[in-house]
Amino acid sequence: MVGKAQSQLRKAHDASQQKASQLESTLSRRARGGRTIQEFNASKQKLTEAEERIIADHIVKLGNRAQGPTELQIEEFANHILFNKYGEKYEKVGKRWLYDFYARHPEIDTYWSKSLDTQRAGALNEHVVEHWFVYVKTNVIDVGILPEDWYGMDENNCPRGNLAKERVAGGSRKKTQHQQGGANRENVIGIVTICGDGTVLWPTLIFKGANLWTAWCKNNIANATFSASLKGWTDLELTIDWLVNHFDPQTREKAQGHTRALFMDGHSSHFTEPVIQFALANGIVVIGYPPHCTHALQGLDVVCFAKLKAQLKKAVTEFEELSRLSIHSITTQVTQYEKTGYKEID
């Protein structure tokens, strides 16, 4: 019994001596400027602890907006930071970086996104709406951003022909009566931005094509700016161009150094790293609407665009009617026989 106790005491003494020796070695190494294991591992990371903290905070903020980024978007954010730090010769994060990043930041978790139909079915519910207004209060109102610095941006498809449905007369027993008119299904995208004080910015019109035609830009009574896109809708390049060259110049002087709030839908091209970085660097808080809720929360969708489409339809209808009248006038009808030689027949 005594022998066993003495053996345990010797083991405890040896362990204590070993621990003291390790501590002495560690202190000696630290005194000579050595690094801890944690510091050594951190030195091998491409991103510093502070830089990863920025990414983690960014992910949490997007998650609170119901816009959690994909793994590819997180990697793009990290690579964007590295590019800004090292220039074009930077090395991208490796395949294992994201998994190690998650391990270093347990406050971040991953989830499977729901299918589109499921999201639409349950998007506009009491919890989502309540969370949205709490978020706006916290990040806009409580930090002192005034209504004259609130901006809502949205895009609207403007068909170049008369495609709107309306009630028309026709034969009985028909469910649908076709109406003659322009059937041009090509859209022009209009980017419209309204301010909380009732003012508006110059609109931007995006035409489908490789280049802009001069004829498209004539009669510009709205002082609109123009762009062209091969696909006919906004993409990363057009979004950052609009933010840098249109939104910022038109709102910077009015803000007088105060923070501006920019409300946009959660389209992927609206929340890329170049957009977010420019906004952060220039005093712009970009806030995305909850997915599939703009029909109820976006003022442009709820009020303005409905009237715009009605007025656009009216203008297109009147233009087409005037065109038909000028084409089918009596003078035109007589001239067509003269020009084709029918009047010379004897």
Q: Is the pLDDT of residue 336 over 50?
A: yes
Phi, psi of 229 (to 5 degrees): -140, 135
Domain chopping of the chain, boundaries: 42-104, 127-163+183-324
DSSP string computed for 333-344: HHHHHHHTTGGG
Regarding predicted confidence, which is higher, 181 or 6?
Answer: 6
CA distance 51 to 83: 13
Q: What is the pTM of this model?
A: 0.57
Residue 19: band (very low, low, confident or very high) from pLDDT cuts 50, 70, 90: low
Determine the Cα–Cα distance for residues 248 and 173; give it in Å rounded to an integer.
56
The pLDDT score that the predictor gives to residue 28 is 62
pLDDT of residue 23: 60
Block residue for tokens 């322009």: 182
Buried b (16+ CB within 10 A) or exposed e, 184-210: eeebbbbbbbbbbeeeebebbbbbeee
Write out the CATH class of domain 127-163+183-324.
alpha beta
Helices 71-86 and 97-104 pack at an angle, to 10 degrees, of: 100
pLDDT tens digits, residue range 105-135? 888 877 665 544 445 545 556 777 777 788 8
Is 335 or 149 the better-scoring residue by pLDDT?
Answer: 149
pLDDT for the residue numbered 147: 93
Q: What is the pLDDT of residue 24?
A: 64
